[in-house]
């Protein structure tokens, strides 16, 4: 129980939140203002943030001590650390996790990854700190974790990178980012199922984030082998370790390919869709021409209109249909 633990998340009920808030406010924490947080505090070796959603996030090298000496005995009133799989045996179920990276980035591909885990894989990852790649941030650390994931005995994985030219063709045909995502998720699941001979035991479900209003968007895109699995789509799916591992592999693939595109273009291609991205886009067009932009960018982004000096199309207000709301 002395292994490093640098982050922890859990849900607190109102009484537990009230107890923890009193501790944070009276026991030497530096109070902080965090967006969407009910309260937050920091000490030299850990940070505590409790969000309005009821989610508690603890980060820092003192996370384990906080859990063992404050959270469990004084707030939760029960021991959970180290007993997660005893309390929730389904955490060891053989399954796929699927996630993507690059969806919100103007430059670079869309990369979708899938990971098969079983009890042995999950046990091997117990203290690696595998979590949603967005909460890691550091590309070097993401690369290290990606290597550990790929090297884990029993772990089966795949990545489907959709390069910019292919992405632009798909989006022009499907007219929807969600449709492209569903297409990619379905192919990742199918690619994993084609490697079933390497899996023991066989997976019973595939878990991914619910990115579309209707869960049928992905279900309808599944190929024959993928339909043999239970498809679970839920918000914050990256809290599942299989999905978190997939997010790391997808992000590593994305940043690797984005860096390669930048080197080939002779221009640094920033992540996201900021003013710096627009400037890089104009520099790229000045050097390589407007027609070449589709080779490195997602052309349906409004950023492309600004980069090319074209009038932006009118914004369409998104409305959820009554059918999708059911």
Q: Where are the domains of the chain?
A: 7-82, 89-256
Helices (H), 156-301: 164-174, 177-193, 216-219, 241-265, 275-288
Q: Which two tokens stand for residue 219?
A: 């279900």
pLDDT digit string (tens) for the chain, length 326 residues: 344 578 888 999 999 999 999 999 999 999 999 999 999 999 999 999 999 999 999 999 999 899 989 999 899 987 665 544 444 546 788 999 999 999 999 999 999 999 999 999 998 998 788 988 988 878 999 999 999 999 999 999 999 999 999 999 999 999 999 999 999 999 999 999 999 999 999 999 999 998 877 788 888 989 889 999 999 998 888 889 999 999 999 999 999 999 999 999 999 999 999 999 999 999 999 999 999 999 999 999 999 999 999 998 888 765 554 444 44
Q: Model's pTM, two decimal places? A: 0.75
DSSP string, 274-290: SHHHHHHHHHHHHHH-G
**Cβ proximity of 211 and 178 under 8 Å:** yes
pLDDT recorded at residue 32:
96
Return the CATH number of the domain spanning residue range 89-256.
3.30.420.10
- Architecture label for domain 7-82: 2-Layer Sandwich (3.30)
Instruction: Give the residue from 234, 221, 225 showing the smallest Cα distance to 197.
Output: 225
End-to-end Cα separation, the chain, in angstroms: 45
Identical fold between 7-82 and 89-256? no
pLDDT recorded at residue 322:
47
Q: Which two tokens stand for residue 252?
A: 């590593």
pLDDT recorded at residue 19:
96
**Distance of alpha carbon 135 from its chain centroid, rounded?**
9
* Rounded (10°) CA dihedral 28, 33, 37, 42: -30
pLDDT recorded at residue 189:
97
**Cβ proximity of 105 and 254 under 8 Å:** yes
Give 143: exposed, middle or buried? Use CB within 10 Å, 0-12, 13-18, 19+: middle
Beta strands at 205-209 and 95-101: parallel, antiparallel or unpaired: parallel
pLDDT recorded at residue 215:
80
pLDDT recorded at residue 317:
66
Instruction: Tell me how far apart the alpha carbons of residues 226 and 185 are, in angstroms, rounded to a whole number.
Output: 10
pLDDT recorded at residue 77:
87
pLDDT recorded at residue 1:
35
Q: Which two tokens stand for residue 180?
A: 């492209």
- Sequence-separated (6 or more) residues with CB below 8 Å from residue 75: 12, 16, 19, 20, 23
């Amino acid at each position: 129980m002395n292994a490093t633990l640098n982050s922890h998340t859990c849900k607190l009920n109102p009484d537990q939140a009230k107890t923890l808030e009193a501790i944070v406010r009276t026991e030497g924490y530096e109070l902080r203002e965090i967006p969407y947080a009910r309260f937050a505090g920091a000490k030299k070796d850990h940070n505590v943030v409790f969000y309005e959603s009821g989610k508690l996030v603890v980060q820092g090298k003192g996370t384990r001590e906080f859990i063992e000496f404050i959270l469990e005995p004084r707030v939760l009133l029960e021991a959970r650390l180290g007993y997660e799989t005893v309390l929730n045996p389904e955490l060891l179920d053989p399954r796929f996790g699927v996630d993507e990276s690059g969806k919100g980035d103007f430059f670079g591909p869309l990369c979708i990854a899938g990971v098969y885990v079983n009890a042995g894989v999950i046990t091997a990852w117990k203290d690696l700190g595998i979590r949603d790649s967005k909460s890691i941030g550091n590309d070097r650390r993401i690369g290290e974790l990606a290597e550990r994931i790929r090297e884990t005995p029993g772990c089966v994985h795949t990545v489907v990178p959709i390069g910019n030219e292919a992405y632009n063709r798909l989006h022009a045909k499907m007219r929807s980012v969600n449709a492209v995502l569903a297409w990619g998720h379905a192919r990742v699941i199918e690619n994993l199922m084609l490697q079933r001979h390497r899996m023991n035991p066989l997976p019973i479900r595939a878990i991914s984030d619910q990115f579309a209003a209707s869960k049928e968007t992905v279900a309808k895109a599944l190929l024959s082998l993928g339909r043999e699995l239970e498809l679970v789509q839920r918000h914050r799916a990256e809290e599942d370790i299989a999905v978190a591992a997939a997010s790391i592999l997808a992000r590593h693939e994305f940043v690797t390919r984005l860096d390669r595109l930048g080197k080939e273009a002779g221009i640094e291609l920033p992540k996201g869709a900021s003013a710096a991205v627009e400037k890089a886009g104009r520099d790229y067009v000045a050097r390589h021409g407007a027609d070449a932009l589709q080779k490195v960018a997602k052309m349906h982004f409004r950023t492309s209109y600004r980069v090319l000096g074209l009038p932006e199309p009118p914004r369409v207000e998104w409305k959820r249909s009554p059918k999708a709301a059911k």
